[in-house]
Structure 1
């Protein structure tokens, strides 16, 4: 038989102090836990001077499986931070390491980390103003600033999201609502052949027909071809299929290609089509001296930006901007407990009607704190350094006879492959094996992708510290591993 409730509480006298409140005991518990967590993070991150500690999958699985999640008697916060927290940091991918160059996964700005602590401790939810008074107004202020940076007008609005996948899906929903219910059955969405997979995934989730997303051919640099888009639109019109949206990309995942936004916007205007721009990656240029490369972005009906890519924010942190706040109307629903018809707080914003989400974090705070702390000159310097590192990396690839550059970098990704006398299929397999070897030995975390039907290496240089000397070390390691594999095969 279970012990009486009060008797069981007596075995853990600090249990109430483990939940933050206004009392001194819980505040002291919070302070000690946060200080300990910071120490654990600093002492265990980069402990091996590697982007990854080198543990194989099966070893990590055994380590995690050995942890009992829910013991009968709690072990205490300090013990768990030292035990589980230490392992979590030590065996994580060290995204701030200069040789962690695999994905669109950035090192984080210190002001944003401070903001994350404040976001968590205040635990605001932006689904009603009385749950998040200051945070709600901060999001509105940051959205106004972002809309202005993007060149949108006074009618613009926006909503913070978990990232571009959610932003893209929301934009497609708004575009479909504008066209009417039938559009989900017969409508067409045009996007680049190099667009992010979330466009197709979102269309499926939203109930569009299986053939709704039509990919448009790209040029040699991976940019959507306007003439191919125009031909596709005309074909859809002749077939009696409504064009729900055009999704242009400003910064493709692999090549960083920026679609010709002005020409695409001309077509959207000519045919009255909703233009959404997925600028999750390339949108970072808005905050640098390279802003003009996004000319035409201001003509979009909606824009997706991700701050956890080129702008050094902790995951997750994205925003969907719309040129006309009226486009959010299809998301407007009333709940008596949340946003009654007769407002209790006159004039208070109601952000829940701008999002698929109800409970939503105050992520705008970390963008505000980072932007104010670093300023335009600071962000420009960091972004430009990543672009310069990518250009230098491309030169380093070209200088090595055993490597072949696929394209000149547009943003901060560099795609290349090894030159091999073996068959293309063998070269593809070898590329994947080299990637795995470098990761498992902790030398570097780099990615692979498929371009022109062949497996390529990809460096994603979002870290300003991924300088030419760092990249040279990675490229040399690729050559060393490739030679080692050839020698072993010969034996």
Structure 2
């Protein structure tokens, strides 16, 4: 009969045993993680069926806990070998970055102290960190003293927040209607939002959640570089006005998910000013380019936008989840403010305590701003400039190499770090290439559709990827294509 294992303390605390066990658990976990990394592969290749079969053997909540030692052994065998390795030079499928080492350390701090960002008395220093980080982010993107921001779970929540602000601002200023108190106006079904036909699907999701419906989202055609066609935008707005509809917002995409294409905010701002519309920049992808003096002009002047979505778990290389919504006019956050006596008492705020719940869709939130603070302090301007420039230059190199290769065709030349291309064979062949790489070569790349054909995609967010490695991957894909066609 096996000797029962000693129960773990519940938490970290001031006692020596609590501290020792905390260190032991974390040390053993780190050792298990590092031991599981045996090569540069992005994924060891297990099938969907194999993983499902493995996990079907476990009861979610066993009658008796198995203890830490047995649990760690099970994690070593069952879980760690099958995790995707986002730091691998063979991983480039999505806008899903590797995490910088110092930001992983910040995650440990965040998880250990488990602050909640809704009220100051739940997160004193964490609140002040977020306030300070937001102020400097507003400065970074060219906003003035009346600006503000709050951290979010990512681009979808930031976009939902911005569109909520835009809807309420329009209804208040143009229709003399207070949505916050009275609900949607009678003419709500006439409200229209404009965004490019290759923008993020969170536009439709937001419209649905806000009671406007998918039909409220007008998808504007794009030009040859997959950027919103501003002349088409003008025409659609005018046509909708003639039909009695109410154009209230344009969302410019600053780095589309597939192509990294960047809408031209200066031209769109002119349209919004002429029409009395709110302009939001979904810069979830492209916002990282602001840290590169060499390439930041590609973004345009984001300070022209009424709000900006920034994601730090993309080009900034921070752990999921970590995003922010920045607004030029802090008054827009009033749409989320509601006082609760137990949480954000007015007398506390009058005495200088900051309760961030009044700016957020969420109540409980993690102290994600610490990740930004630590990474920025650690890397500095020069470090981040090198990260961003390397990724952009890798994409430029890859695009040129594909254009020069007789077996490949390129969708568009990249503005950011996404490269969309295809082998000249059939769409079915390109689909098979991606799955062959995933399950047999430990290489994970993306797939999308461009002009009704299947294309492959490299999303280059890892600055350790070399041009030599990219050349090797092109050769591997060409070899696989030839083998699969035989």
TM-score range, shorter chain: over 0.9
Deviations 1:127-163 (A, max 9, x none): 1000000000100100011110110110111110111
* Counterpart mapping for 1:382-461 below 5 A: 382-420=387-425, 427-461=426-460
CA contact (8 A) 2:161 2:361 kept: yes
**Shift in Å, 1:95:** 0.6
Q: Secondary structure at the match of 2:79?
A: helix
Q: TM-score under structure 2 normalisation?
A: 0.93
Partner of 1:14: 7
Aligned equivalents of 1:92, 1:406: Cα separation in 2: 31
**Shift in Å, 1:478:** 1.3
* Counterpart mapping for 1:53-68 below 5 A: 53-68=44-59
Aligned equivalents of 2:30, 2:84: Cα separation in 1: 17
- The answer to whether structure 1 residue 40 and structure 2 residue 32 are counterparts is yes
Aligned equivalents of 1:123, 1:192: Cα separation in 2: 39
- CA separation of 1:344 and 1:99: change in aligned 2, threshold 3 A: closer
**Shift in Å, 1:484:** 1.3
**Shift in Å, 1:48:** 4.0
* Counterpart mapping for 1:359-378 below 5 A: 359-378=364-383
Partner of 2:362: 357
Partner of 1:307: 312
- The answer to whether structure 1 residue 474 and structure 2 residue 473 are counterparts is yes
**Range 391-400 or range 342-351, more displaced:** 342-351
- The answer to whether structure 1 residue 69 and structure 2 residue 60 are counterparts is yes
Aligned equivalents of 2:6, 2:468: Cα separation in 1: 55
Q: TM-score under structure 1 normalisation?
A: 0.93
* Counterpart mapping for 1:60-459 below 5 A: 60-84=51-75, 87-180=78-171, 181-182=184-185, 184-289=188-293, 290-343=295-348, 346-420=351-425, 427-459=426-458
**Shift in Å, 1:89:** 2.5
CA contact (8 A) 1:33 1:78 kept: no
Aligned equivalents of 2:28, 2:445: Cα separation in 1: 32
Q: Secondary structure at the match of 2:211?
A: coil
Aligned equivalents of 1:114, 1:345: Cα separation in 2: 35
CA contact (8 A) 1:44 1:86 kept: no
Structure 1: gaps spanning 5 or more residues: 1-10, 421-426
Aligned equivalents of 1:202, 1:266: Cα separation in 2: 25
Deviations 1:44-76 (A, max 9, x none): 13x243110111111111112223332222222
Aligned equivalents of 1:448, 1:156: Cα separation in 2: 38
Aligned equivalents of 1:379, 1:280: Cα separation in 2: 17
Aligned equivalents of 1:86, 1:303: Cα separation in 2: 43
**Range 286-295 or range 125-134, more displaced:** 286-295
Deviations 1:252-308 (A, max 9, x none): 111111101100011112222111000000111111112222222101111001010
**Shift in Å, 1:85:** 5.0
Partner of 2:175: none
Deviations 1:454-483 (A, max 9, x none): 110101111112222211222122112111
CA contact (8 A) 1:265 1:296 kept: no
Aligned equivalents of 1:49, 1:379: Cα separation in 2: 24
**Shift in Å, 1:18:** 3.1
CA contact (8 A) 1:50 1:97 kept: yes
Aligned equivalents of 2:349, 2:201: Cα separation in 1: 42
Deviations 1:107-145 (A, max 9, x none): 111111111100110100001000000000100100011
CA contact (8 A) 1:95 1:107 kept: yes
Q: Secondary structure at the match of 2:212?
A: coil
Partner of 2:174: none
Partner of 2:176: none
Aligned equivalents of 1:336, 1:321: Cα separation in 2: 27
CA contact (8 A) 1:443 1:474 kept: no
Q: Secondary structure at the match of 2:420?
A: strand
Question: Over aligned residue pairs, what C-alpha RMSD do you find?
Answer: 1.5
Q: How many residues are aligned here?
A: 469
**Shift in Å, 1:40:** 1.2
CA contact (8 A) 2:44 2:442 kept: no
